[in-house]
């Protein structure tokens, strides 16, 4: 059962499902925004309203008086993107966004910005926004965060920081800029398709619920563990009884783990950029993403043991592996800072890094397709 | 990049010419124009056509009149103005010249 809203299109009343009404209003608002500097704006908008009305009329009959949301989606899609921002000769607008009519949709793509997208978000839209920005499925981004949390415990921290730092996309223009697409009708449809309405539909479906539970349960448990691990030892007095050789071993272990990290990064970047691990070609039937995953696992195993050894030396016996929370947090922040600075420097001096980062979305998509195909063969 | 993508800019430029030609033949409304174009390489959608028609009307190339339809609200039927016909004639002329050039170059 859905609420119905009556609207006026070109002087005629139509009844729309509430979801469909929101879609249509979004579509028309976007069109109005895109035509802002067009001298024929009002005429074009009223023409488009009438055309949409006519298409709705064709869908209705005496026994069917309401246009459902899916039909609204189809009609908006059939209208195509609203072109015709102010033309170059008409009204020059200094630095304004209005793309010229002659340009193809690819060229009119608004510059991408990283936003949080709240429609269809699970928590605060960080993954959703990242997915839109990198042009990959937000579910994959969420999965990446969960994996990051399980293996390194960094995911939660990165997520919280991004939730505070990255702005939320509010206006239609910002939402369009979040995925770098022009604010077209189709963009709203895409968002509606994979976003909010889907989530609402699925919420009544216990199977989908369970599926989400399976999906996110491990992540939640992992973050709960991280939480206890970081904060649970607060106030516990450390047992500072060293043996001198441990103090000497500590810096070497740090240097070693740093070296392992640099080697891992180099291998990963060379793999993503050239398809070879530090000059060694992959066996022909191993896809790049499998190699990348193996590299990550190898790195996790290596650093895991190094980390344990460091913790062991740091807090010998008794409170093994439990430095107090401020130390862990400070370490994490410094680590993030160093990685960020290194990354900036590296992408400035090595164009390969840029290539590698750009290759990530397509490789993730490839992985998704491979897994999908494999799943279907079962 | 295939030919179809490569010449999307050219097709956009030519759309106005084709719309002039369609309207010159008979009074039409938007759905007619879309239908005639849909079978060709120039298939397009309302989102493109309405802004184009408004621009052409503002430039004085065409005009419209409201006509009652059998079912539903009245529709805008478009027709060419004198200026529109002149423009169509000039464009056709120009198009023929371009065609000749394309055929002639490299043939000698």
Is there a contact between A180 and A109 (Cβ–Cβ < 8 Å)? yes
> Rounded mean pLDDT of A206-221?
58
Percent of chain B with pLDDT over 70: 97
CA-nearest of A238, A230, A234 to A318 is A238
Percent of chain A with pLDDT over 70: 62
Question: Residue A197 pLDDT more than 50?
Answer: no
Classify strands A280-281 and A12-17 as parallel, antiparallel or unpaired: unpaired
Question: Residue A349 pLDDT more than 50?
Answer: yes
- Residues A118-146: tens digit of each pLDDT: 777 777 788 888 887 777 777 888 888 77
pLDDT at A364: 82
pLDDT at A289: 77
- Residues A289-345: tens digit of each pLDDT: 778 888 888 887 777 777 766 666 655 444 445 556 666 667 767 777 777 787 778
pLDDT at A102: 38
Question: Residue A98 pLDDT more than 70?
Answer: no
CA dihedral A26, A31, A32, A38 (to 10 degrees): 170
pLDDT at A210: 62
Is there a contact between A289 and A370 (Cβ–Cβ < 8 Å)? yes
> Rounded mean pLDDT of B48-57?
91
Classify strands A280-281 and B62-67 as parallel, antiparallel or unpaired: unpaired
pLDDT at A220: 55
- Residues A25-70: tens digit of each pLDDT: 888 888 888 888 888 888 888 888 888 888 888 888 888 888 888 8
What 3-state DSSP class applies to A39?
A: coil
What 3-state DSSP class applies to A15?
A: strand
Contact B50 A51 (CB under 8 A): yes
pLDDT at A244: 58
Distance in angstroms (rounded) separating the CA atoms of residues A137 and A362: 11
At residue A189 the predicted structure's pLDDT band, cuts being 50, 70 and 90, is low
pLDDT at A214: 61
- Residues A235-278: tens digit of each pLDDT: 344 444 455 566 666 677 777 777 888 888 888 877 877 777 76
At residue A196 the predicted structure's pLDDT band, cuts being 50, 70 and 90, is very low
At residue A190 the predicted structure's pLDDT band, cuts being 50, 70 and 90, is low
Q: Which residue has the tokens 């239908």?
A: B35
Distance in angstroms (rounded) separating the CA atoms of residues A336 and A230: 17
Name the residue among B45, B55, B72 with its Cβ closest to that of A79: B45
pLDDT at A173: 63
Chain B residues with beta carbon closer than 8 angstroms to that of A48 = 46-47, 50
Contact B51 A101 (CB under 8 A): yes
B65 in contact with A at a CB cutoff of 8 Å? no
Helices (H), chain A: 18-34, 41-59, 69-79, 105-108, 126-134, 138-152, 155-165, 172-179, 185-194, 196-203, 206-231, 244-274, 288-314, 325-349, 351-377
Three-point CA angle B17, B20, B23, nearest 5°:
150
Question: Residue A286 pLDDT more than 70?
Answer: yes
Contact B51 A35 (CB under 8 A): yes
Mean of per-residue pLDDT scores for chain A: 70
Contact A80 B52 (CB under 8 A): no
Distance in angstroms (rounded) separating the CA atoms of residues A264 and A300: 10
Contact B50 A78 (CB under 8 A): no
More confident position, A151 or B30: B30
More confident position, B72 or B50: B50
Q: How many residues does chain B have?
A: 108
Chain B residues with beta carbon closer than 8 angstroms to that of A54 = 31, 72-73
Is there a contact between A80 and A57 (Cβ–Cβ < 8 Å)? no
Chain B residues with beta carbon closer than 8 angstroms to that of A50 = 73
Q: Which string of b and e fits A186-196 if b means at least 16 CB within 10 Å?
A: bbbbbbbebbb
A12: part of which helix (H) or strand (E)?
A: strand A12-17
What 3-state DSSP class applies to A121?
A: coil
| DSSP letters for B17-62 | HHHHHHHHHS-B-HHHHHHHHHTSTT---HHHHHHHHHHHHHTTSE
**Long-range Cβ contacts of A232-235 (<8 Å, 24+ apart):** A233/A319, A233/A322, A233/A323, A233/A324, A233/A325, A234/A324, A234/A325
Distance in angstroms (rounded) separating the CA atoms of residues A117 and A90: 34
Q: How far is CA A139 from the centre of its chain?
A: 8
More confident position, B7 or A342: B7
Distance in angstroms (rounded) separating the CA atoms of residues A70 and A201: 13
Question: Residue A207 pLDDT more than 90?
Answer: no
């Amino acid at each position: 059962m859905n609420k119905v809203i009556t609207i006026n299109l070109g002087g005629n009343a139509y009844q729309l499902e509430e979801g469909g009404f929101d879609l249509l209003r979004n579509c028309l608002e976007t069109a109005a925004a895109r035509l802002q500097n067009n001298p024929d704006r009002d005429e074009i908008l009223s023409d488009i309203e009438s055309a949409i009305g006519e298409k709705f009329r064709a869908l209705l009959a005496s026994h069917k008086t309401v246009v459902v949301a899916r039909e609204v989606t189809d009609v908006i899609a059939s209208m195509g993107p609203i072109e015709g921002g102010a033309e170059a000769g008409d009204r020059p607008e200094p630095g304004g966004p209005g793309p010229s009519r002659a340009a193809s949709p690819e060229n009119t793509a608004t510059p991408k910005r990283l936003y949080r997208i709240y429609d269809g978000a699970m928590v605060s839209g960080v993954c959703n926004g990242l997915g839109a920005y990198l042009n990959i499925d937000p579910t994959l981004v969420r999965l990446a965060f969960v994996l990051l949390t399980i293996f390194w415990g960094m995911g939660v921290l990165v997520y919280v920081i991004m939730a505070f730092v990255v702005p939320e996309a509010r206006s239609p223009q910002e939402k369009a800029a979040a995925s770098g697409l022009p604010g077209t009708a189709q963009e709203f449809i895409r968002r509606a398709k994979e976003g909010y309405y889907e989530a609402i539909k699925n919420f009544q479906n216990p199977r989908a619920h369970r599926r989400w539970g399976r999906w996110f349960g491990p992540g939640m448990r992992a973050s709960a563990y991280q939480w206890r691990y970081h904060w649970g030892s607060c106030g516990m007095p450390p047992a500072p009884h060293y043996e001198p050789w441990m103090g000497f071993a500590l810096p070497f272990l740090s240097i070693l783990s740093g070296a392992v990290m640099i080697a891992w990064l180099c291998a990963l970047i060379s793999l993503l950029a050239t398809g070879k691990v530090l000059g060694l070609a992959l066996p022909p039937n191993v896809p790049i993403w499998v190699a990348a995953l193996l590299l990550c696992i190898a790195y996790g195993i290596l650093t895991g043991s190094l980390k344990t050894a460091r913790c062991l030396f740091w807090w010998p016996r008794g409170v093994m592996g439990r430095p107090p929370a401020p130390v862990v947090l400070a370490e994490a922040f410094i680590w993030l800072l160093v990685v960020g600075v290194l990354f900036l420097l590296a992408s400035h001096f090595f164009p390969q890094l840029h290539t590698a980062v750009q290759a990530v979305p397509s490789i993730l998509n490839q992985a998704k397709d491979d897994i999908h195909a494999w799943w279907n063969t079962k | 990049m295939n030919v179809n993508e490569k010449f999307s800019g050219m097709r956009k430029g030519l759309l106005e010419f084709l719309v002039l030609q369609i309207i010159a033949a008979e009074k039409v409304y938007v759905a007619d124009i879309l239908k005639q174009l849909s079978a060709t390489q120039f298939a397009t959608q309302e989102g493109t056509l309405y802004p184009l028609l408004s621009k052409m009307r503002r430039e004085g190339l065409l005009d419209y009149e409201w006509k009652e339809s059998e079912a539903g609200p009245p529709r805008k039927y478009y027709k060419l103005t004198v200026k529109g016909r002149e423009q169509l004639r000039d464009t056709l002329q120009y198009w023929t010249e371009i065609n000749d050039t394309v055929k002639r170059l490299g043939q000698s």
